[in-house]
Chain A
Amino acid sequence: MSHAAVLAADVVSRGEAVAFWILGPIALAGAIGMVLSRNAIHSALWLVLTMLSLGGFYFVQQAPFLGAVQIIVYTGAIMILFLFVLMLVGRDYSDSIVETLRGQRVAAILLGIGFAGLVGGLIADATSGVESVGLAESNADGGNVAAIARLLFTDYLLAFELTSALLITAAVGAMILAHIEHESGSRPGQKEQSIARIKGPRPQTLTGPGVFARGNSVAAPALLPDGSVAEDSRATGMKMRQPPAIASGSIDDLDDVTVDSGANRDGVTQ
């Protein structure tokens, strides 16, 4: 046991305790904020906070490799993926507050408190007398990365190789799930669109947004020379803001104008 006695020098240093008591509340705040915030984007940012503090925990717990991987992979890649999907699905999609099961929320919180007390108490009880060995010896020869690599490429080589199959399957699966199949010929191509446009009633381009208006934002529809709104310039699929007020009338007036832009334009040019 003299060996263990030497290694039992792994007492938690004062610096580590300080780091724990700073990062621990931050991690808890991030987790609670994630569950409580109504906006999904805010949830994602709270979770980033938790993951960063967990990365800090790995660093102070003699696992610098995992700490770096945590920050690069989790906060850098996975959370960005979450944010991408949130933006695709729609930023303003908010959570419904309708309970499909009555009292589910209260029951879940009570269950959570009970579970935390049970698991936390049991873990604390089971490990309180255990003396921490510490990774000073394992990390001695070449550092933490070398120690991990030595095990990963010997004992865990098969599992490591299998993860490559897992990753390629996940990548292919994501491509299949996210891909939309269009039959060729089901949608008009560039040539058909061009022909249809020349043969159609209006060969020229639509009025761009912001022409003659106060702002050049895409949300500001173009104004015709008489000050009315050119309906053609309203972007489809985008909810337009009210056009900026111009000298000749109030916003309500502009909104009430049902513009027959072709007639207006003819009137001006004639």
Chain B
Amino acid sequence: MTPTYYLVLAAILFTIGAVGVLVRRNAIVVFMCIELMLNSVNLTLVTFARINGTVDGQIMAFFVMVVAAAEVVVGLAIIMSIYRTRRSASVDDANLLKY
């Protein structure tokens, strides 16, 4: 076994997240799928840090986590306000920018 296995696993997890974004209709679940994609990229970065022998990749993963946390906060607030005005959290229902 080599660290390549981690990279392949991360690719599969990323794909599952991408398929989830395409398939699911609930905006919150779509958001979770995006989180899964970010996480799989983090796994790739950590694995590359190990392969290269420097912790730069880990620092990139750290920044990805920070940005993901900020993104989750804003995204969930947007979903909440959409739900408040439209009484629905389905991505199909929000097809107009206003009203």
A positions within 8 Å CB-CB of B: 7, 10, 12, 16-17, 20, 24, 27-28, 31-32, 34-35, 40, 43-44, 47, 50-51, 54, 57-58, 61-63, 65-66, 69-70, 73-74, 77-78, 81-82, 85-86, 88-89, 93-96, 98, 100, 104-105, 108-109, 111-113, 115-116, 119-120, 123-124, 127-128, 130, 132-135, 137-139, 144, 147-148, 151-152, 156, 159, 163, 166-167, 169-171, 173-174, 177-178, 180
- Do residues B66 and A167 form an inter-chain contact, with CB atoms below 8 A? yes
Task: Determine whether the beta carbon of B80 is less than 8 Å from that of A178.
Answer: yes
Q: Which of A44, A47, A78, A119 contacts B69 (CB 8 A)?
A: A78
Task: Determine whether the beta carbon of A132 is less than 8 Å from that of B2.
Answer: yes
Asked if residues A43 and B32 are in contact (CB atoms below 8 Å), the reply is yes
Is the contact region of chain A dominated by helix, strand, or loop, or is it mixed?
helix
Q: A66-B62, A163-B63, A170-B74 are in contact. Are A93 and B35 (CB under 8 A)?
A: no
Interface contact A86-B77, CB-CB below 8 Å: no
A85/B43 in contact, CB under 8 A:
no
13 other A-B residue contacts (CB within 8 Å) besides A73-B65, A174-B74: A12-B3, A28-B12, A28-B13, A40-B29, A70-B65, A104-B23, A115-B15, A120-B12, A135-B54, A167-B66, A170-B71, A174-B73, A180-B84
A137: nearest chain-B partner, CB-CB: B53
Closest B residue to A24 by beta carbon equals: B9
Complex Cα distance A135/B57, Å? 11
Cβ of B14 and Cβ of A119 under 8 Å apart?
yes
A61 in contact with B46 (CB, 8 Å): yes
Report the interface size class on chain B: 35 or more
Minimum CB–CB distance for A152 against chain B, Å? 6
Bound-state Cα–Cα, A152 to B60, Å:
10
Q: Which residue, of B3, B32, B66, has the highest number of chain A Cβ atoms within 10 A?
A: B32
Query: Please, what's the 1-or-0 string for B36-74, where 1 marks a CB less than 8 Å from any CB in chain A?
Result: 100110110011011111111011011101111111111
Interface centre among A12, A86, A89, A137 (most CB of B within 10 A): A89
Could you tell me the distance in whole angstroms from the C-beta of A66 to the nearest C-beta in chain B?
6
CA distance A123 to B15 in the complex (A): 14
Instruction: Determine the residue in chain A with the shortest Cβ distance to B47.
Output: A61
Would you call A89 and B28 a contact (CB within 8 A)? yes
- Name the contact of A171 in the complex, choosing from B25, B71, B73, B76 (C-beta under 8 A): B73
- A121 to B: closest C-beta gap in Å: 9
Is residue B8 contacting chain A, with contact meaning CB distance below 8 A? yes
- Chain A residues closer than 8 Å to B51, beta-carbon distance: 127, 130, 132-133
